[in-house]
Amino acid sequence: MNTLGKNALATSLQTYFTTFARTQRDLSAHTIASYRDTWRMLLKHLTATLGIPADVLDFDAVTAANVIGFLDHLEDARGNGARTRNARLTAIRSVLARALPDHPEHAATITQVLAIPPKRTVRKVIEFLTADEVDALLAAPDPTNWTGRRDHALLAMTVQTGLRVSEICSLTRHDLHLGTGPYVACTGKGRRQRITPLTRTTASTMTTYLAERATRPGTSLFCGPHGRPLSRDALEHRLAKHLATATTTCPSLATKHVTMHTLRHTAAMNLLTAGVDVSVIALWLGHADTHSTDAYLHADMAIKQAAIDRTRPPDVQPGTYKPESDILTWLTSL
């Protein structure tokens, strides 16, 4: 095993990333990479501001003031938002919380960092696609070639199932079940396994696609030319290409910032407008609880309008107010 140094901080970092994160917490590779990058940036920042080599930095350098300075640097110099700042703080606190029992001599310094509160964030209104926009997007891929047919199947399944980008990338042909009661199985965020049913239309699309996919190498459901799974960047690139095409027939798409996650939001909104309970939608999307799913209630103006209509006075007609066309007649009637 390589040694990172003889000080307590270096030893704790090595223990966390080689033993604790992988074997005890069983964190995902994505989470471990994010935490690693955070600490690399923090150590580089401390080296630059304190003039101390990274190998010499110890817990006495990771003070609350220095960590807050690093977090401010992320926002001011790197242009990171509050959510990214909070994610970096979580990574720092995770390592320090694990180190605290082993280093009581640094308890005061570590405890002060653990007490740093996350920054308040503004929850943005969820953006989703209308039925016409979905139709335009699904019609955009070229059906005369393999890539277009693959992209159509990928987009159709994503907008119907609401799978995350990481879940789409990790799907294999064996995760798709197209017999009686067709569904797709995946392991999502937090290693939660779930099964998402497919509509008759999506199942038909996937049946056709899978027959052609079987002639190509690899087991990934959505693959590149050599059978390797498509990356997150590749999916976003393909989506951007088809959005440009779809915008020519559906101009409203140009007013929206559409990503693969927007398709997940669209699936959730379709379920909500169909009258599906929020708790069921949370299970469908793989949310740990309904707090994340509640955001879709705020995004649906139709639900809010229905609430207003139910609370109107008995003698008032439902709907949005419209002024009288003849203003003189209206003034006379007052």
Residues involved in catalysis: 164, 189, 261, 264, 287, 296
Rounded CA-CA distance 141/245 in Å is 8
- Among residues 314, 317, 316, 333, the alpha carbon closest in space to that of 325 is found at 333
Tokens of 294: 């509640």
- Amino acid identity at 74: L
CA angle 105, 106, 110 (to 5 degrees): 150
The answer to whether the beta carbons of residues 38 and 92 sit under 8 Å apart is yes
How many angstroms separate the Cα of 36 from the Cα of each of 10, 99, 206? 13, 15, 38
- Amino acid identity at 91: A
How many angstroms separate the Cα of 244 from the Cα of each of 154, 165, 240, 251? 17, 20, 6, 10
